[in-house]
Structure 1
Amino acid sequence: MTLTFLSISIHQSQSQSQFTISPMIMKNPNMIIFFLLLLLSLLSPSISISSRCNPQDKKTLLKIKKSLGNPYHLASWNPKEDCCTWYCLECDEITNRVIELTIFQGNISGQIPAAVGDLPYLQTLIFRKLTNLTGNIPQSITKLTHLKMIRLSWTNLSGPIPSFLSQLKNLEYLDLSFNDLTGSIPPSLSNLPNLEALHLDRNKLTGSIPDSFGNFKGRSFYLYLSHNQLTGYVPKSLGDLTYSYLDLSRNKLQGDVSFLFGSGNKLEVVDLSRNLFEFDLSNVVFPDDLRWFDINHNKIYGSLPKGLASLELQFFNVSYNRLCGPIPIGGRMQNYETTEYFHNRCLCGAPLPACK
């Protein structure tokens, strides 16, 4: 066999192998190393570059695959291949340890394997849109002290939200939405010092919002508790948080929540709809950043504050309350449909009939 590659010639027969390298290449040490590696692979095809994958991580991943019934979704998890090339995960470029596990939208049944807790460098854990995934959240994930994101959503996970999640002190994002979780919200979640987003919406949670939730330290907090069965009053401590998104809709919460607003807040989205809130809206001061305001289906009374006319609201709905008086003129207030205003006590003015 004769192969010519740039200035290298290789002659191989059954009895011997010979090669020559041009003097120009011999003067460049980096080129010498490159071509020696190339020659080694050509003359000994059985020799290959070593796998990046950490052996212990690989063993754990194969155990996870087996626990999930060896689904086709994880067909790339071939024990003969480097696990850092497998789908649904990512390795750190320096340490080569598995740092992300993302199993998304596949035909996967069973429970979250306890072996997940044996990936010690994991920073992101996602099981999402897996409707045949059942059972409880395994306590073994408390071993994952580097976790920054947990997203276990759109599955059929059941049982309570475990208080042991508060042990994951590096957690920044926790999403347990769209599940069948029951019971009350653990107050200990507020002990997560770096948490900036909490999604517990679309479950079957009961009880009240913990008073301790005002202790979250996120500079721009995202709190989603909608579509549950929460009751009672919203803790005054929540007024101390700096929100970006607040969704308490479709619960059975009651009382006065006007303390959630204020010119110093950074609220962009607030949805309080379909609760039992009852307070005077007349003197509420809204943050300048507010873009979404939905309070429909409550018992809110008073008039619409004139400050609403100065906001660039992308969504607005105050229907099915006990509001009265003229709709403020200006901004987008006259551009909304009548359905955003109707079923109040005596609101009037465009787009509703004129005030008398």
Structure 2
Amino acid sequence: MRMRSRALLVLLCSLLAGAFNAEPSPDPTYKDCHPGDKAALLAVKAALGNAYHFASWTPDNPCCDCGAIPASLGTIPNLSGINLSRNRLTGAIPSMFLSKSADQVYLWLSHNNLTGPVPAGFAAVNFAHLDLSRNDLTGDASGLFGRGKELQYIDLSRNAFDFDLSGVVLPEQLYFVDVSHNAIHGSIPAQVANLSNLQFFNVSYNRLCGPIPTGGNTARFDLYNFQHNKCLCGAQNNATYFYVDQVD
């Protein structure tokens, strides 16, 4: 029963994200929200048994303020997945977001206008899939990685994250890593060559230096995955030795 509830919540949140992305209503009583938004919000509330987290979602309110992530949404016990990608969300990710999440969490927040750092509490969330790409997030995101975590997919690309990649320990189950188009510095951990499940790895457009690890699955990655860094160098596919484009 719990698993069914979790699956239902993921589906409803996905539908809600689609409603938020619709065209605004010309009716001023909806405060520039699509008429379907109100119905979607009330449906989510009803499906969750009219949980107290959504006390403000009532038929008397013409529409909610969809500009920011509601802090209450992320404090639902046993929340296992939420998809709010491709909306017009702004502001910071709430500090307590997903603080009462399930054992394994799937989160999509890509293609928004979110700002500020990732919450410190995210380091304790057991993400399996995390997509924060294409926002304006800043600061140190290294706490999202770490030994023993079940993280399999992480996309931090096209933000303004700035941290040292050298000491980051990559979870062993990772198969997709994209941290391109940030301000990440340091060097690429040698551990990358030992990740047996790794299918995609992109660190381009950062400020990395040092040798590119070789061996393992790294032979499948070409110049595209490493270009436009400060001073990366290496031998790709056991053939070509190159320096990646220099940037200031």
TM-score class, shorter? 0.7 to 0.9
2:46 is matched with which residue: 143, 157, 160? 143
The structure, 1 or 2, with the larger RCO (C-alpha pairs under 8 Å, 6+ apart) is 2
| Match in the other structure for 2:235 | 350
Gaps of 5+ in 1: 1-123, 148-162, 168-180
Separation of aligned partners in 2, 1:225 and 1:140: 22
Amino acid at match of 2:205: Y
1:305 is matched with which residue: 167, 189, 194? 189
Amino acid at match of 1:164: F
Separation of aligned partners in 2, 1:235 and 1:212: 7
Higher relative strand content? 1
For the 8 Å contact 1:230–1:253, the answer to whether it is kept is: yes
| Match in the other structure for 1:210 | 94
Separation of aligned partners in 1, 2:241 and 2:146: 31
Amino acid at match of 1:353: Y
Separation of aligned partners in 2, 1:165 and 1:332: 50
Separation of aligned partners in 2, 1:300 and 1:132: 36
| Match in the other structure for 1:328 | 213
For the 8 Å contact 2:75–2:98, the answer to whether it is kept is: no
2:218 matched to 1:317? no
How far apart are 1:264 and its partner, in Å? 1.7
1:264 is matched with which residue: 127, 148, 163? 148
2:54 is matched with which residue: 142, 164, 178? 164
Q: How many residues align?
A: 205
Amino acid at match of 1:273: S
| Match in the other structure for 1:70 | none
CA radius of gyration, larger in: 1
Give the 3 Å change call, closer, same or farther, for CA 269–127 of structure 1 in structure 2: closer
For the 8 Å contact 1:226–1:250, the answer to whether it is kept is: yes
Give the 3 Å change call, closer, same or farther, for CA 310–204 of structure 1 in structure 2: same
Q: Deviations along 1:152-194, whole A, 9 cap, x unmatched? A: xxxxxxxxxxx62899xxxxxxxxxxxxx84110110122112
1:279 is matched with which residue: 160, 163, 168? 163
Say which SS state the counterpart of residue 353 (structure 1) adopts.
strand
Separation of aligned partners in 1, 2:133 and 2:80: 20
Separation of aligned partners in 2, 1:248 and 1:313: 19
How far apart are 1:146 and its partner, in Å? 5.2
Q: Deviations along 1:95-147, whole A, 9 cap, x unmatched? A: xxxxxxxxxxxxxxxxxxxxxxxxxxxxx768698978942233543334459
Separation of aligned partners in 2, 1:296 and 1:241: 23
| Match in the other structure for 1:239 | 123
For the 8 Å contact 1:166–1:191, the answer to whether it is kept is: no
Separation of aligned partners in 1, 2:209 and 2:162: 14
Gaps of 5+ in 2: 1-10, 25-33, 58-64, 244-248
Say which SS state the counterpart of residue 193 (structure 2) adopts.
helix
Separation of aligned partners in 2, 1:327 and 1:309: 9
Output aligned runs, 1:169-208, within 5 Å.
182-208=66-92
Output aligned runs, 1:60-139, within 5 Å.
134-135=34-35, 136-138=37-39
How far apart are 1:337 and its partner, in Å? 1.7
Amino acid at match of 1:316: F
For the 8 Å contact 2:129–2:151, the answer to whether it is kept is: yes
Say which SS state the counterpart of residue 218 (structure 2) adopts.
coil
| Match in the other structure for 2:62 | none
Amino acid at match of 2:115: T
Q: Percent identity?
A: 46
| Match in the other structure for 2:61 | none
After alignment, is 184-193 or 126-135 more displaced?
A: 126-135
Amino acid at match of 2:199: Q
Separation of aligned partners in 1, 2:54 and 2:83: 17
Separation of aligned partners in 1, 2:133 and 2:155: 6
RMSD of aligned C-alpha atoms?
Answer: 2.7
